Amino acid sequence: MEKAEFGLPEPLPTLPGNVLTPFRIAIPPDAIDDLHQRLERIRWPRELPGDWERGVPVGYLRGVVERWLEFDWRVWETRLNAVPQYTTRIDGQTIHFLHARSPEPSAVPLLLTHGWPGSVAEFLEVIGPLTDPSRYGGDAADAFHVIAPSVPGHGFSVPLEEPGWDHVRIARAWIELMERLGYDRYGAQGGDTGSVVSPLVGRLAPGRVIGVHLNGGLAFPAAEPGDLDALSATDQAKLATAEHFRATGTGYAELQSTKPQTVSFALSDSPVGQLAWILEKFHDWTDPARSLPEDAVALDHLLANVSIYWFTNTSATSANLYYESRGYPTASSGVPTGVAVFPTDPAMRHILEREHHLTHWAEYSRGGHFAALEAPDLLVEDIRVFFRSLRQQ
């Protein structure tokens, strides 16, 4: 019998007494109709001459909106529902998660954490190769069971029921989730928010986490005196990019970390506003060799991600994480840590190794901040290589 696309349809393992409810995405037809009606009656802003330096150009966004009107959400809903999904209650909060079991008996559980403005949809291209590597030309010995929760206040981990959901609280919830699933030994991987939460999971559960793999950190290098002297040409380029981003690209973070509720009125009432808010980050953070977001990420995949934010009305609650975590220091752990550095990532090894137990470091010339979407082949292989020596420890 042919294998299922994402692992085997076997019962979900769980410990007695834990309630794990099967979940399927089913956006009501009237919500899709409402989206189309709003897209058809947008009032476009005036703009000054220029390109992306002032933000998303009107002419460009018109074309993306036209595509959104043609976009078939049901196709992506079906793709997402092909991955087993569940919800559970942890610390007073509904947690939604994907759980793709590998057909390989020796598979290692791998906890994936997305960030903002991402969602679990960004993992669709990597779940298959991670869970069933032999089906994708890899070695069965590199197989993982994939667990990918929606960060509280994002996607289907809604509603966000109370304040206080910072990175540490999320990490504690992830540890509880893995315990409920019966996993007492696992790896953690993440980009963006995941690059902070995953090391915290390792710090809080060092006896369970065999290793932490990171990509997509955006923080300006935490440099000490002398750290930025005599940099290699590669690190000089990273520093220049980080300085440019700090000078011109942090307005979104200032708003979301100080007044997330105020900005959400525009984003929750206008799908085009939500689209532009997210598209700007895909323009700025994807592979700099790609001129437009859709040159780096398939436009329909990007629209699927934006649609999740729109249909779940999570502009305010996703931004809340910035408010809860403002000023939070770089997270670290003592467990073995691997870092995959893609273009636009400002990571420098000699700085990060002060706080992380680095056992693996790789730099790539292709891809960007959204590596699971931009360069899934490189990310998957890097994860496999990093965990290969940790599986039997």
Domains contained in the chain, number: 1
The reply to whether 299 falls in a domain is yes
Residues near 376 by beta carbon (within 8 Å), at least 6 away in sequence: 125, 126, 129
Question: Under a CB-based contact definition with an 8 Å cutoff, are residues 64 and 275 in contact?
Answer: yes
The reply to whether 1 falls in a domain is no
Structure confidence at residue 8 (pLDDT): 36
Place of tokens 């200032």: 254
The reply to whether 34 falls in a domain is no
Tell me whether residue 99 is one of the annotated catalytic residues. no
The reply to whether 350 falls in a domain is yes
Which ranges of the chain have pLDDT less than 50? 1-4, 6-11
Structure confidence at residue 218 (pLDDT): 84
The reply to whether 153 falls in a domain is yes
187 phi-psi bin (left φ>0, alpha ψ -120 to 50, beta other)? beta
Domain residues for 152?
63-388
Q: Which of 322, 356, 360, 382 is catalytic?
A: 322
**CA distance linking residue 237 with residue 372, whole number of Å:** 23
Tell me whether residue 369 is one of the annotated catalytic residues. yes
Structure confidence at residue 15 (pLDDT): 56
The reply to whether 183 falls in a domain is yes
The helix (run of H) or strand (run of E) holding residue 358 is strand 357-363
* CATH number of the domain bearing residue 244: 3.40.50.1820
Alpha-carbon 133 to chain mean position: 21
**Eight-class DSSP state of 53:** G
The reply to whether 239 falls in a domain is yes
Tell me whether residue 322 is one of the annotated catalytic residues. yes
Structure confidence at residue 9 (pLDDT): 35
The reply to whether 15 falls in a domain is no
Q: Which two tokens stand for residue 349?
A: 């090894």
Structure confidence at residue 4 (pLDDT): 41
pTM of the model: 0.94
Question: Under a CB-based contact definition with an 8 Å cutoff, are residues 336 and 357 in contact?
Answer: yes
Structure confidence at residue 389 (pLDDT): 93
Q: Which of 166, 192, 235, 284 is catalytic?
A: 192
